[in-house]
Each structure stands twice: as structure tokens, then as C-alpha cells.
Homo-oligomer: A and B are copies of this chain.
Amino acid sequence: MSETSSDGNIYERGLDKTPANYQPLTPLSYLDWAARVFPDKTAVIHGPHKFTWSEFDVRCRRLASALQKRGIGPGDTVSVMSPNAPAMLEAHYGVPMAGAVLNALNYRLDDETIAFILKHAETKVLITDREFSGVIRDAVAILDNPDLLIVDVDDPLANGGELIGDLTYEALLAEGDPDHVWEAPADEWQAMCLNYTSGTTGNPKGVVYHHRGGYLNALGNALVFRLGPESVYLWTLPMFHCNGWTYTWAVTSVGGTHVCLRNVDPAEIFPLIEEHKVTHMCGAPIVLNMLVHAPDDVKKTFDHTIEVATGGAAPPSTVISRMAAMGFNVTHLYGLTETYGPSTVCVFQDEWADLPLEDKAVKMSRQGVRYPTQFHQTVRDPETLDLVPEDGKTIGEIMFQSNTVMRGYLKNPDATAEAFRGGWYHTGDLAVQHPDGYIEVKDRSKDIIISGGENISSLEVEETLYKHPGVMECAVVAMPSEKWGETPVAFVTPTAAAEGTLDANELIDFCKQHMARFKAPTKVVFGPLPKTSTGKIQKFVLREKVHDVAEEKDD
């Protein structure tokens, strides 16, 4: 009898949870399903190598079994340093199957940051691809933890590197039982993954995911992205990035096919799309830019549609149209590490189809509406938590309530409490909510430029710059101005074709013609843009640079 039996209503008597009707939600169950329904279908492609769902399942079971035999279980962290190769995908199943927590490392990090993470996460096992042996060896030296078990992935497709660990990944798998029966977590709230955010200041924070959230966000992706058994997913998005936005599990939930990719290189991407008839892929806008600006002898145009989800920044209209011309249909998603990756999607409305390209791109570049698996998506006053009017003008902070929000930051109750204050997850992103319910990010709070008392959205200036055919990438930040308070300055990487010929004044004039004149940049600096290891442009670095140029010109 339930606890409420004595005083509850008729529905609270004798209708309790039992193993028959209550089981923890976990994305691990998708692998069980795929291996059962499609045992002989190709699960994973890695260069010339292929695994069926049955083979992949056995490898994951072996990994779980081997880890357990070595004493790894709930509460233990297993870190993995790997590009988008099979071992990384297997770790997404084998590690949590052992009850442990997967910490997928950003392979662009430096040794000190990696050492910090391994120490903070109290990592027990480190699985590392040979290509990263250099930085890992240095990180391990800094860490100085003799109890750390290091497992080398000797991927035949790796480019160089050495074996530096205690045993190879294949030897570890050989220790495991191929028929290992894994147990679902005792509670779906149990920690499953640990992802460190690449903060621009301070130490990275460890975002903890639970099984429930992984299960739900993966289903949301499958539903929103219309995945099915025929789907072929190309791994252009790093799996370490929010666990590949949970596509690591979503593709499995429908029995699709994962196509691994160690290097995000158009010279590899185009042929793989053609060879495997890729149907879906994801990536930051830079990935789309790379495809659009790939050399002509590399570029291919496809007669089947490839669905591309992008996030991190809005795709400029030119990118949308140029991708479409090659066969790619771009969808804009929005989310954060704290929300298991994508949490909103710019759902395409039928009536947009007839809009002029520019207008259509404006609609499509918005962050959109919540996933069906997200609970509440709102824009609120950061202080009062009041909802902002849905007028497309009033700026507030995007806040979520959802089962697809992290448990919190590991060993950081203050940051967790701050992120969840008032019962809402505070994204830190400033946005408006349009009358049609779509949200549109206007800026991170520090990215708003205030010039002569008027707000200028750096994103709006960037969107205008992207319309110029000579602009490959750009970023706009505030430059201090005695007269105006601040003015916008643009940092621009020209396309290969425009390299050396693109003129600053031409770009400024172009902006003045295409937006309010006061919003046009007062200065343009050419060159490569500083980026975080996940490909985010580091505006704080640019802000430091503007102090140099601010001396030169102030109008």
C-alpha cells in the first residue's frame, strides 16, 4: 500500500510503483532496442570499418563489463579524450552501463585545463586516442595521480601519436564479457554524463546530466529532426559537445546509422555524404561556412536533401541560401551545455516558403520555440522574473524549466543555486519574444553596444556584414568612445576570394546602406578571429584588442 493509502483519494490506494509499471528512463535502453530490432544493420561507419548494431552492442557490453571488473561503478568518472571515432560513441553506452559517469573531454583543450578537469572530476579511468598523446602526457604529469588508469585507443585512422597508457582499449574490451547484462540505474536521476563548459573566465564548470534528461532530449531530437531507421547521421558535431547534442543516443533510438568523422574537413565531408547518402548532420555555423566556402574541386551538390541543424549563432541568410543550393536544408537550434544541447528549434512555418529569401532568412535565424520535450521556454526580466511582453522588442533573459536541464554544476552549489535562482534556469542570453512565440537572441548581456544612449545589437551588425559577399566570418564588439559612449568595431575574416582586396570603408558604407547608419561599425579590422576550443568566437579577446584601435580613431 502506498504512503497515501490512508488519506488519499481512490486513485491513491493500492496503485503503487512496481517493477512491472515503473522503470528508470535511460537512453541506454535505445541501444538494447536497436540491437534487438536491427541486429545486422550497420550501426557505425568509421572509414573502411563498419559495425552492425549487434557488434556495436557487444563492444559496449564488453566495455561496461571490463570497467566493472576493474571496480568502476556509480559515482566514478571515466574521462574520454577522443575525436568522433567509435571508442567515443561506445563510451556513451559502456560507461553509463557500468553505472559510471562519462566525461567526454574537449580535445582542443590545453594540458593544464585537462589536468584541472581530471582532478575536479576525480577521474578513475582515462580513455585517450593516440593522436592526443602529447597533451594528455603533459596533463597527466601535472595531475600526478598514480591511481589513474590510462587506456590508449589505437585507432587505425589516428594521425600519429603514441601509446602512453596502461593498456589498449581493445585489450580492455577483451577483459569484458560480451554477454554482460547491464542494469539500468537505480534512479533515472542518477548522474550519467559530466561536461565541462568552456567558460571565458575562471575555471570550467562541470555540468552534470542525468539519465532522464538524456532519454528525453534524445527523443526530442528524433522527433524534431524526423529521424528513422533510414537516417544516416554524419558526425560533424563533436561528440564531446553536450554529448553530441544527445544525437549519440537519438540516432540509436531509431536504429539509424552513425558515420564517424575524426576531422571536420570539407574534403572528407563531401565524399562521405555522397558515399553513405548522409541524411542528417549538425554543426556550429563555422562548419556551414567551411562547406559554403570550400574550394570548387571539393564541393559537391547533392540531389537528396541533407538536414543540417546548426546552433551557437544564427545562420546568416547567405549561408542558408548557399547551403540550400548544394542540397542542405538548414534548421536553427538553440541551447547550451546546461540544457543537453538543443532546447529550442526554429520550426519552419509553411507560410514562410513564399517569402523572399531575405525575409525567410530573418524568420529562420530566430532561436524559435521549445522542443516538445522541453517544458517551459520563457523570456523574463532577469531581476523580477516577470515575463516580458511578446512584442519582439522588449529584451529579457531566456529562462527554462525542463527535464532537459542539468542537475547542476559538480561541486559548485553556489553556481548551481545562482543558475537556478527563482526556480528557473537562467541562460544568460538576452532575447526578445516575438508575437508568434518565437524567441530571438539579441545578445549575451555584455555584447550589447550602447552608442549615444541607443542600444545596438552586435548580432544585427554581424548579420548585415555577413550579407557582403567578401565576408567569411565576423564579430562585432563595443569600442569605448568619448563622444558616443561606445561605438561598434568589426573584426572580419575575408573569404579566400576577397583576401587582400576587401576594403574597410567599403564594408562600412555597405553597412550604412543596409541598416540604421548609427549602427554601422566605425572601424573594421581584418584577420582571423580568436575562438574557444568549441569554436565560439571569443569576444573578450576582441574587446581587449579594441583598446589598441580605440586610440587611433574616435568619431
Contacts and interface: CB of A to CB of B under 8 A. Distances in A.
Contacts of A39: 436-437
A153 B374 CA distance: 35
A102 to B, nearest CB: 12
B347 A11 contact: no
A370 B33 contact: yes
Interface of A: 8-23, 25, 29-30, 33, 36-39, 74-76, 101, 122, 189-191, 208, 213, 219, 222-223, 226, 228-229, 253-254, 347, 349, 369-370, 372-373, 375-376, 400-403, 405-408, 410-413, 416, 419-420, 423-425, 436-437
B376 A23 contact: yes
A424 B13 CA distance: 20
Contacts of A408: 14-16, 21
A420 B17 CA distance: 11
Given A21-B213, A226-B226, 16 more contacts: A9-B74, A13-B413, A16-B407, A18-B423, A19-B423, A21-B408, A21-B425, A23-B376, A29-B375, A33-B370, A36-B437, A37-B347, A37-B437, A219-B373, A253-B372, A254-B372
Contact of A223 (B18, B208, B254, B400): B254
Nearest to A349: B38
B17 A410 contact: no
A219 B221 CA distance: 12
Chain A binding surface, main DSSP class: loop
Contact of A20 (B101, B122, B229, B420): B420
A246 B101 CA distance: 35
Given A223-B222, A226-B228, A375-B23, A11 B401 contact: no
Contacts of A21: 213, 401-403, 405-408, 420, 425
11 contacts: A15-B407, A16-B408, A20-B419, A20-B420, A23-B376, A25-B403, A36-B370, A38-B349, A39-B437, A219-B219, A223-B223
Nearest to A218: B372
A369 B191 CA distance: 29
Contact of A36 (B369, B406, B413): B369
Contact of A10 (B25, B190, B410): B410
Contacts of A347: 37, 229
Contacts of A349: 38
A208 B11 contact: yes
Contacts of A406: 21
Of A30, A33, A437, the most chain B CB neighbours within 10 A belong to A33
Contacts of A370: 33, 36
